[in-house]
Amino acid sequence: MHLPAPLLAQATTDNEGLAALWAGLGVAFFLAYFALVVLMVVARWKVNSKAGQPGWACLIPIYNLYVELRVAGMSPLWLLTLLACGIGYIVPWIICQIKTAQRFGHGAGFGLGLILLNVIFLPILAFGSSRYTPDHHGQA
């Protein structure tokens, strides 16, 4: 079946508009995602700096995990479990988040927030009035 020329032109214009809409949404999504990534890098940098660790460490793979463990006051040996796959990563990371919250003067509830809503709670930790206070009760 052949469409008459005016209908064919209309269909082509509609498809171009739809393609432009999808392209615009893709660009908007990319910009929002990029802004979120920049926010999280800056927040992690600030948290590291508050804890007396190098801020730039958040940019280096594997070393960033080591520094995160130091901020939480955990033994560097936990890095071996963090580098494992699956549950071997999840459990130490959860412990690390709760201990980090405690080191900044917050309770386990804030640690739970760091676990479940890291995108909200990490900037609160970084840019809020929380102060890093290392305790000397031993290491996990």
**Distance, CA of 17 to chain centre:** 35
pTM (2 decimals)?
A: 0.77
The answer to whether 46 touches 127, Cβ cutoff 8 Å, is yes
For residues 11 and 48, the model is more confident at 48
Q: What is the pLDDT of residues 23-71, one digit of tens each?
A: 888 888 999 999 999 999 999 999 999 999 999 999 999 999 999 999 9
Angstrom distances, CA of residue 80 to CA of 53, 65, 66, 100, 113:
20, 10, 10, 19, 25
62-120 confidence digits (pLDDT tens): 999 999 999 999 998 888 888 877 777 888 899 999 999 999 999 999 999 999 999 99
Residue 66 C-alpha from the chain's centroid: 16
